[in-house]
Amino acid sequence: MKHALITGGAGFIGSHLIDRLLAEGWKVTNVDNFDNFYDRAIKEKNIKAHFDYDNYVLVEADIRDLDNLKEKLTGDYDVIVHLAAKAGVRPSIKDPVTYQEVNVKGTQNMLELAKYWGVRQFIFGSSSSVYGINPNVPWKEDDCVLMPISPYASTKVSGELMGHVYSHLYEIRFIALRFFTVYGPRQRPDLAIHKFARKIMKGEPIPIYGDGSSRRDYTYIDDIVQGIRAAMEYKGSMYEVINLGNNQTVSLLEMVKTLEDALGIKAKLEFLPPQPGDVPQTWADVEKAKKYLDYIPSIPYNEGIRRFIKWLNNHN
């Protein structure tokens, strides 16, 4: 039985990945500190079903505390999937020091553990935010002009670079996956699709920062999990950075219209000034993911929204 160590496994992406791994017969150790960025009860609900499996272990710990991690974890892992992080562009502007501590020091601690234990496969959850304001769309991994414009984005760039160091020095295969606006059931409540849907249902105005023309490459959670699983099995080169996106863009106003159609409710819009740190568009070139991971996003945006609203109606 293969054993995966997942950090941040009580969160949105991590809990879906663990669903998949447990269904496939993996042994899973989940490290999560239940950060108060959003309600702990939401994360507890995400992982409730995981305790039905004898091959699942939850370790409540903070990735900043290396000694505690060494004490609580066994080290007998085939792969580490490091998803734990302080999330969010705008909050990182308010508290950049904590983001640095968690996302950079925490990532280095996990790489130190991989070195210490001899774990040779390390998957890192990076972000499309590393590209910053880059007009060369769709964004390709070999575009070396990374211009992050938020502390959060800069910590993800740091994680990718640190992974290269550890891969080079200690023969750890490091795969950085740049996630593009992931959505679906269990999506974090602070993210736009989830937040907007709830506001529409309550008849509350939706904040539109800017003129609504900003565009995002929305990627359904099942496609992201498929990409992570493929990266866990990848045995090619020792260091890669790979986009996981949907390879299409949707404007903010188009996203709201899709939610209106799915809910059958007209939204109230409140236009506000653009927010610092927000990029005007994200758009993933996924040819590398297709080549290296056989990754082909299979859930169209409209279908993904339909599935999300169905989940939301059942969990409201």
Residues with active-site annotation: 152
* Cβ(286)–Cβ(247) below 8 Å: yes
Strand, coil or helix: what is 189?
coil
* Cβ(78)–Cβ(4) below 8 Å: yes
Q: How many CA atoms lie within 13 A of 259 on its CB side?
A: 27
> Using CA atoms, how far apart are residues 73 and 77, in angstroms rounded to an integer?
10
Q: Which residues pair with 59 in a beta bridge?
A: 31
Q: Determine whether 67 is exposed, middle or buried from the number of CB atoms within 10 Å of its CB (0-12, 13-18, 19+).
A: exposed
Could you tell me how far CA 277 lies from the centroid of its own chain?
18
Tokens matching residue 264: 């059958």
Give kind and range of the element (H or E) at residue 178: strand 173-179
Terminal Cα-to-Cα distance of the chain (whole angstroms): 37
Is residue 157 left, alpha or beta, with left meaning phi > 0 and alpha meaning psi from -120 to 50?
alpha
Q: Which residues pair with 80 in a beta bridge?
A: 5, 122
